[in-house]
Structure 1
Amino acid sequence: MTTDPTQILQKLIAQGPPQATETGSAALKRIGMLIDLAGDLGRDDATVLALEWCDLLREKKLTKQQRVLLDYFRANAWANRKRLKHRDPDSAWQWNQPELQNEIFHLRSAAHAPGFEKLSALRRCQILTNLGNQLNTLGRCVEAVAVWTRALSIDPKFGMARGNRGSGLTRYASSLYDNGHRGLFLFRAHEDLHAALSPKARYVGPEGEGAIKFFAGVKKRIEPAIHLDHAKSIKWEGHRIGRSASERQYRRWTLHQGLFLNPLNDLGPHSIAAIDLLSLPSFTSNLGEPPSLIAFFDQMKQEFVSGRWLLFEGLHSDAVHFSDRDVVLYNTLDYPSYSLAVEKVKAAFRIVYSVLDKVAFFLNDYAKLGIPAHRVYFRTIWYEKSDPARSVRPEFLQSKNLPFRALYWLAKDLFDPALKDTMEPDAKELYTIRNHLEHSYLRVHEILIRKQPSAAPDPWTDRLAYSVSRSELNAKTIQLYRMARAALIYLALGMHHEENKRDRTGPKGLKMPMSLDRWSDTWKV
């Protein structure tokens, strides 16, 4: 039996694509081996062949777990192609990377699929760790930390997730402009890296040795910047989070959903983070210019937190509201969901979707892009309008601003008919829900029975409506709030990066500092 990788690869190729008589597990095993060998040998032709076989296998009858593995293997194949194409370190700064986009799409498809929870703990951790790593590569540190944390909830000793989260928190810390927050992030990063280097940490495969060496290097590099005694004295819990039981319930829910506009919430649901303190960094403006950017950012924050409260109320309603009494409605026998609580979730959805376009409006002004206001959308602001290939605008390409690039890639989580590329499997449904909420008819059901398409008329299907279940609408709205929160954080961090660059390269001269007082909570009536 040969052990030469090239010969094994040729033998696999010679066996041909998945056969009708071949079981799904056998076909998956062959495709997985083909992808691994193609990656080890740098054979792009074999990787392309493996992707073709994946397309064929997708048409076969597979179990839910097998479909998850198929997405995982497809992601690995795209990772092979990415490594071959982007060997030059400078190429990592390319804004358009279709290989990476496809890799993330399939990792997300695997992580969100119904069969994911039935996979082994090891395989689930591998999928989530890979997803976190790729999001972090794009600068999307907020989402990356959440994904690594999900992996560690499955296996706290999984070394690759622990070490990569520590390394990712280090990068996140380098973008922060609050020195206190930076210190806490580095402290938590140090804890993760220390755990990843512990003999108790679990590693699988030959990559473990190289990863351990890398994590040790990151830990050594950040140690001089950490004041361990001070960090250990920080009180993470015990902070006041409300004056009433209902306020405390709301704030605890917000902490556990990771929805406070506060980077510290990304370190966990600690009461120290139960305050929406995210603000713009210090920046330079022309003398006599009003603080329009500050006012606009504050307005976006207010809309976000108000919508977040509506969402909380809609999710936690346990009684009929008096405004719903004596409203005459009819039972149409399709389990409709009518209530003020449902309308609050719908309103929360509308509010937060609009915040994303407002981030684009802010960026258009700050970066002086000059796009007419009626053409400013979060999904399309990044591209040259006149370019049929939709090239990224030079203002962004030349900036090497990682948080702004994170915003660009976050925009790809939304769907736009003119830009069909997306890396979020649910993107089109989010877009469809929003369109029906704003322009036509979204129908929410307590129970939604999905039926197969049929040519025969169905008296129980509403031909005018786009139907979703109440639980589905709730989950999609929470998903949108996490996206908008990340967008606001990346916007502030990206602005900080730009201001630092302008301080280094801009004209020197007299600068007059200006500070603003906080708007008192007692005035918010």
Structure 2
Amino acid sequence: MNQNIFENISDLITSGAFLEAEQAAVDLLEEIESKDDGSQAFVIFKFNVAGFLVDIGHALSNRGYALKAVEIFESLEPRIEGVIDPHQYFYNRANAKCHIVEQVSTFDLTFSSIETLVEAKNEYWKSIKEARKVNEEFPEQYVNLANCLKRQFRLSEALWYYDSIREMAPEIPQSWINRSEALLMLNTVSNSYSGKMLHEISSGYNQASRSKFLPPDYAAYYGEQAERFRQGISENDHAETKKEFEELSEYRKYCCRSSLTLSEHGLYCSCAGAARDNLTIPLAATTVGGAFVPQMEAVLNRLKSEFSMARRCYFEYTEAEIEIDLIHEECFTDLETNECLGLDFEKLRTAFRLCFGVLDKIGFAICEHHSLKPKSGMVYFQNFWQLDRDNRREKFEEIKTPGLLALYSIATDLNEHKNGEWKNFKRLRNAMEHGFLVIVHPGSVDDIFGAYELSGDVELVELDVFEKMVEQMIQLTRSAIFSFVFHFRQKGLEESVPTGPTVSFQRVNLQM
């Protein structure tokens, strides 16, 4: 097979000549399918053509090509070992699944149509995990994962990834474009246009318009979008933001830099507007009817309190210096197990444990308010949904909001029955609570004294792996808190006739 054909199609896609690329890719696929000689070369050629179909189908809004690509990827799966890197396989299959779902607004997603995006999200996680094993992560993985999360209204996580990506790979235009779109989505639920938000939206479109990786027509369009949002932005915004950030405490600076604030302004700006966890269900200075609002605010207070404790423990573990005197005072029998013991590591464990408590309380509040407790009566965040039982999918559809869809998406990450990539988190938490979770320093564990033979319920995890887990868990939990607020905020706004006392919430709105 002539390599020039592949390069030609790739060049056509890059230049935006998608109709020409479409015909060339279809012709090439027909030619390849008639020449399956069982070789590795055939697998590589067909895999690459499927990748072209994904890009072309996305550009031309033709989901048929995405469906065809998924079919090709799955047919090749038994033959990819030693031929296609697993992280490339899962990455391309995730891209295809994302494009199967029509490019409808997130606000039009349903509890049925989101399932394909959930599958795609899981495949991106698989891709990243496989790439980490061989130290071959690449920024496009995180860009497309963030885009997939954005479509599921997991805005805080998407913005976290976009902000990380723009530091390590600022040349990727899709990251800038989608970050601006995520901020526009945020405005629909916060109605908090600020000068800084306008600046961030405009800046994202402007960065994208200057990219050499965008076709000229696309670049011109995003240049126009940048100019549209540039109007009304103060030239002093950036200088003031930097000054205000420097005046924050070291702990709050850490929270802002690490995307750990519970502030809508803090989702995109590190200034005085992010100095407090001022997230509330009602918008600033608004009146909301219905008895459920103070009830859910009481729940939110509890969520904030427990999350703040988890966040502080994580901060002290990652940033604070270990007290030498404390190490001297803590006496542990040396069993040569390499186990991580002491107050410092207990802070890490506590942060992890508290996050599950926050998530379960979110699930409990939803079930109580919407009368959706499962028949078992037990509410655990990752599996109380049970959408395929007792018409529960239809019941959830009746109360659907983007925030509720986001909560469901987060729950699937932790659910073993949904093939969630973080399903082992719950197992480790259970071992921590009801058995033994042993965190060990990286390296071999030689239990020469049989210290861990007390019970079969012993889980061992290396410290560096557990640290990543805790970071991921804290971000999932933060995202769930925002989604909880967005869900009940929309429900409050939908209340046309108050069913209970009218409650007014006032808060200081420190925005730039």
- For Structure 1 versus Structure 2, the TM-score category normalised by the shorter chain is 0.7 to 0.9
Judged with a 3 Å threshold, the aligned counterparts in structure 2 of structure 1 residues 116 and 150 are, in CA distance, closer, same or farther, namely farther
Query: TM-score scaled to structure 2, two decimals?
Result: 0.79
Change (3 A) 1:241 1:430: farther
Aligned-residue RMSD, C-alpha:
3.8
CA contact (8 A) 1:378 1:411 kept: yes
The answer to whether 1:257 aligns with 2:258 is yes
1:208-287, aligned counterparts within 5 Å?
Answer: 208=215, 211-212=218-219, 215=222, 227-229=232-234, 232=237, 235-239=240-244, 248-270=249-271, 272-281=273-282, 282-286=287-291
1:108 aligned partner = 125
The 2-side partners of 1:510 and 1:413 are apart by: 36
Match of 1:70 among 76, 89, 108: 89
1:466 Cα offset (Å): 0.9
1:375-420: per-residue Cα shift (whole Å, max 9, x none)?
2222233335843xx85252x313451122111111111124xxx1
**Aligned equivalents of 2:360 and 2:368: distance in 1?**
13
Q: 2:213 aligns with which of 191, 197, 203?
A: 203
- Pick the aligned partner of 1:175 from 181, 185, 189: 189
CA 367–209 in structure 1, closer or farther in 2 if over 3 Å, else same: farther
User: Structure 1 residues 68 and 193 mapped into 2: Cα distance closer, same or farther (>3 Å)?
Assistant: same
The aligned counterpart of 2:464 is 471
Distance in 1 between the 2:123 and 2:373 partners? 36
Q: Is the Cα contact below 8 Å between 2:338 and 2:445 reproduced in 1?
A: no
Q: 1:509 to 1:370 in 2, by over 3 A?
A: closer
C-alpha deviation, 1:222, in angstroms:
5.6
3-state SS of 2:439 partner: strand
- Give the aligned partner of residue 81 of structure 2: 59
Please state if 1:366 is matched with 2:397. no
Q: Which residue of 2 aligns with 1:14?
A: 34
CA drift of 1:242 comes to 7.7
Q: Structure 1 residue aligned with 2:436, among 433, 441, 444? A: 441
Q: Which moved more, 1:126-135 or 1:485-494?
A: 126-135
* CA distance in structure 1 between the partners assigned to 2:76 and 2:399 by the alignment: 38
Distance 1:290 1:408, change over 3 A: closer
Q: Tell me the equivalent position of 1:130.
A: 144
Q: Counterpart of 1:522?
A: none
Change (3 A) 1:129 1:319: closer
Matches within 5 A, 1:24-35: 27-35=43-51
Percent identity between the two aligned chains: 17
Cα distance between partner residues in 1 of 2:120 and 2:478 = 24
Question: Paired residue for 1:331?
Answer: 334
Amino acid at match of 1:378: F
Where structure 2 has 5 or more consecutive residues not aligned to the other structure, the ranges are 6-22
Asked if structure 2 preserves the Cα contact closer than 8 Å seen for 1:193 and 1:216, the reply is yes
Q: Which residue of 1 aligns with 2:116?
A: 99
**Partners of 2:288 and 2:369 in 1: how far apart?**
11
CA distance in 2, matches of 1:10, 1:148: 38
CA distance in 1, matches of 2:273, 2:307: 20
3-state SS of paired residue (1:258): coil
* Cα distance in structure 1, aligned partners of 2:297 and 2:66: 49
Query: Structure 1 residues 67, 18: CA separation in 2 closer, same or farther (over 3 Å shift)?
Result: farther
Question: 1:445-471, CA deviations, whole angstroms, 9 ceiling, x for partnerless residues?
Answer: 1224389xxxxx998894542111222
Match of 1:401?
Answer: 401
Q: Give the TM-score taking structure 1 as reference length.
A: 0.78
Aligned partner letter, 1:495: F
Q: Which among 316, 319, 324 is matched to residue 322 of structure 2?
A: 319
CA 1:49 to 1:496, structure 2 compared with 1: closer, same or farther past 3 Å?
closer
Classify 1:326/1:458 alpha carbon distance in 2 versus 1 (closer, same or farther; 3 Å): closer
State whether structure 2 residue 418 is matched by structure 1 residue 421: yes
Corresponding residue number in structure 2 for 1:523: none
Number of paired residues? 473
